[in-house]
Structures are given as C-alpha cells and as structure tokens.
Amino acid sequence: MARKPTPAGMPPTSGVAHIADLVRKAVPPLHPAGLPFVAAPLAVAALGRNRKWVRRAGLASAAATATFFRHPHRVPPNRVGVVVAPADGEVALVDTAVPPAELGLGNEPLPRVSIFLSVLDVHVQRSPVGGTVRKVVHQPGKFLSADLADASEVNERNSMLLETRDGHQVAVVQIAGLLARRIVCDAGVGDTLPIGDTYGLIRFGSRVDTYLPAGTTLLVERGQRTIGAETVIAQLP
C-alpha cells in the first residue's frame, strides 16, 4: 500500500511522535497539586539509578502517585437545571440532612447526595452546577473514615455555597477521610464556576456531600458509581 503523501511544507510524522500523541490522549493529565508528590520519588529514582531496587521503587511510587492525582477531561451535560456529580466514586448516602452550620442555610433538612472516594478514584472535585461562589468556609475537625455518616459533622471539611443564575443555592462539601489530611479548594468568593469545572482536590481518600434546594429531584441511588462532571445526580426544581 502506498504511503499517503505529506502536504507540501509539512515534515513527515515520525513514528515516535505518533506514539507520543497516542500516549497524551490515553493518559490523563496530572493535577498541579500532585507535581511535588510525583517529583519526589522520581528524584529518588534518579539518585538511586545505580541501585536497581531503589530505581524501581522510585518509579513505581511516582507512577502510583501520578495515578492518584490524575485529572481526566470530562464533558458535562448541557441540559438545563441538572446537577452533576462533584466527584468520581460510590454514592454512600441519598437522604435529607441539615447542611453545615457555617453555610447559613438554616436548620431544615435538605436533599443530600454523599459520594465516597476510595484511594483508587479520581480525587479532583468539580462544580455540581454552574454558578457564583457565595461562601467558602474551612472547618477543622477529626479524621474519621469518610464512609461513616458522622463524618459529615465531625470531620475536617471545606464547604462551598454556589448560587445558580436562577437563584438556586447548592452547597458542596469536601470532607477529609481517614488518610486524607489536606483539602485543596482553589475557588474563592465571587468566582463564577461553569458546571463540571474543577475547583479542588482531597488527598488520599475522602468524601464529597452535595446539599440541594428543597423540591429537588434526586436521580441516583445508594451504591451507584458516579463520574465527576458527567453523572447527573439531580434535577433542580
């Protein structure tokens, strides 16, 4: 079979460049917060290059860490009034609960969807709706297992309140877990977040709660797997 001619003025595509392009498409990019954690074991591997076990351990650790901090591209739905999952993981709770007091949403229970993230899940958090950030509050606390119901109240957390263009208030709460000791939130009061936009990350096992307005229709069930920014978890009233 004859090779397809290269357009005039364009260099021929090398096999290496083609493979590199395939790798870029197949391997998710790394969240910036993970760069120091990947660089450290790579440095160990480089310094211990004359010792096979040190080199292999460093490379394996770097690969595992890069997998944890992966940041895959996602395409949110364009339906009006939907709420998407703020994280990858398993739906741990679908119920009603009083939102964290620091959000100022009152003492009445609101619809809630809790998603538990294992150490194998993608750990970036994404905006469940498009809207303006009205509050961001960090609350110190304990580091109980994130799959416990009490974790919503007693664990360290970062609560963010969003207001949609239609005036609906949606809260998303990052909750630290048994191994998680660091919550990253890049959003600030006054920021406008598109639906599905990445705004934060929790390191090494965690949970994310979404509190929704009364009258919201919940569309997921306990035990269901979610894909952040793509799985529709609710329809706003």
Structure tokens at 49: 């290059």
Angle formed by the axes of helices 35-47 and 52-68, to 10°? Answer: 170
Strand partners, 186: none
> SS3 for 189?
coil
Q: Are 88 and 70 in contact (CB under 8 A)?
A: no
* Catalytic site residue from 114, 152, 159, 206: 206
**Which residue has 């894909």 as its token pair?**
227
Which three-class secondary structure state does DSSP give residue 34? helix
Residues across the chain:
237
Residue 206: active-site member = yes
Nearest C-alpha neighbor of 33 from the set 160, 119, 124: 124
The DSSP code for 70 is B
Query: What is 18-32 written as a DSSP string?
Result: HHHHHHHHHSPPBPG
Structure-block tokens of residue 184? 């990253």
| Contacting residues for 118 by C-beta, under 8 A, at least 6 apart | 89, 90, 205
Any idea which residue has 């609960």 for tokens? Answer: 97
Whole-angstrom Cα distance, residue 215 to residue 222?
19
Residues marked as catalytic = 206
